[in-house]
Amino acid sequence: MPAHDSPGSSLAAVRDARPLVHNITNHVVMNTTANALLALGASPVMAHAPDEVEELAAMAGALVINIGTLDQPWIAAMRLAALAVGRAGRPWVLDPVGAGATGLRTRTALGLLALGPSLLRGNASEILALAGEAGDLPRGVDSTVGSEAAAEAATALARRAGCVVAVTGAVDLVTDGSRALRIANGHPMMTRVTGTGCTASALAGAFLAALPDPLAAAAHALAMLGLAGERAAGGEVGPGLFQTRLLDELYRLGPAELDEGARIS
């Protein structure tokens, strides 16, 4: 795979590859996530039956595991899928929804993290909880602190887990433990509809499937979603319309506009 050093060229690579992205995700966002991947130009499949996840994980360009609505059969399926995608040498993303809020979520996320995802993407409270920091626990699935509060924890966790860690918020932070990128795209309206974090993780899966560098892939996916959010929130818009317009902007945004609008430092 060639290197893609601009977000626009990464977006073009994703659309060229139209990667199959296997999602084991939560009941709340399944439809939203599938539509976001389709709007971007990727091909989603949602599947969590333990009997089929290994087959799917082995054929997909990337796997996204999201622990938003957990129970024991799903946890078993998540572990099987993570191991299968690892054997196939493909990238996978872990979204630790609500880690820190309950013991089940924290234990499950830490167990999956030990299986070696390419990217861990969460909000600041989730990343702090997984790094073992006390305090600032999530309110359910929402962060109680800004992303900068988890910057040191993210770096330490990236080193310890050997993966890229992305902390989202008003400014997103992406680190592999030595390099760090900040993405200043986005809009507060993104916190007023459910599933934007889950969408961030799923889009990152599509970018990881098409690109060789997980740090750049994650940063470019987050710039894409953030810029789409800014454009979707333009004018008088409430959460209902925003959700629909976000899909339209993920579809409309082209490589040149992404290069122009991305604020990555």
Ligand X SMILES: Nc1ncnc2c1ncn2[C@@H]1O[C@H](COP(=O)(O)OP(=O)(O)O)[C@@H](O)[C@H]1O
Q: What is the DSSP secondary structure assignment for residue 88, as one 8-state letter? A: T
In this complex, which beta carbon is closest to Mg ion, that of residue 11 or of residue 127?
127
Position 186 contacts Mg ion (CB under 5 A):
no
Helix, strand, or coil (residue 167) = strand
In this complex, which beta carbon is closest to ligand TZP, that of residue 17 or of residue 30?
30
In this complex, which beta carbon is closest to ligand X, that of residue 6 or of residue 191?
191
Strand order in the sheet with 20-24: 43-46, 20-24, 62-66, 92-95, 119-123, 164-168, 172-175, 180-183
In this complex, which beta carbon is closest to ligand TZP, that of residue 6 or of residue 69?
69
Task: Say which residues have a Cβ less than 8 Å from residue 152's Cβ, sequence separation at least 6.
Answer: none
Position 99 contacts Mg ion (CB under 5 A):
no
Render 92-130 in DSSP notation, one character per residue: EEEE-TTBTTBHHHHHHHHHHHTT--SEEEEEHHHHHHH
Q: Which residues pair with 22 in a beta bridge?
A: 45, 63
In this complex, which beta carbon is closest to ligand TZP, that of residue 126 or of residue 213?
126
User: Cβ 100 to ligand TZP, closest distance in Å?
Assistant: 13
User: Cβ 213 to ligand TZP, closest distance in Å?
Assistant: 25
User: Cβ 126 to Mg ion, closest distance in Å?
Assistant: 7
What, of ligand TZP, ligand X, Mg ion, none, does residue 190 touch, CB below 5 to 8 Å by kind? ligand X
Number of residues that bind Mg ion (CB under 5 A): 2
Please report, as ranges, the residues that interact with ligand TZP according to CB under 6 A: 26, 28-29, 68-69, 97, 141, 194-198
Position 197 contacts Mg ion (CB under 5 A):
yes
Position 195 contacts Mg ion (CB under 5 A):
no
What, of Mg ion, ligand X, ligand TZP, none, does residue 228 touch, CB below 5 to 8 Å by kind? none
CA distances in angstroms from 81 to 24, 63, 199, listed in the order given: 9, 8, 20
Position 97 contacts Mg ion (CB under 5 A):
yes
In this complex, which beta carbon is closest to ligand X, that of residue 90 or of residue 96?
96
**Residue 168, annotated as binding a ligand:** yes
Q: Which residue in the block uniquely carries the two structure tokens 């082209």?
A: 254
Q: How many angstroms separate the CA atoms of 162 and 34, rounded? A: 28
* CA dihedral over 20, 170, 153, 177, signed as positive or negative: positive
What, of ligand X, ligand TZP, Mg ion, none, does residue 226 touch, CB below 5 to 8 Å by kind? ligand X
Q: Which residues pair with 168 in a beta bridge?
A: 123
**Residue 122, annotated as binding a ligand:** no
Q: How many angstroms separate the CA atoms of 114 and 79, rounded? A: 10
Tell which residue, 122, 28, 110, 107, has the closest CA to residue 69.
28
What, of ligand TZP, ligand X, Mg ion, none, does residue 58 touch, CB below 5 to 8 Å by kind? none
Q: Where is the binding site for substrate, in residues? A: 46, 195
**Using CB under 5 A as the criterion, which residues of the chain lie in contact with Mg ion when the complex forms?**
97, 197
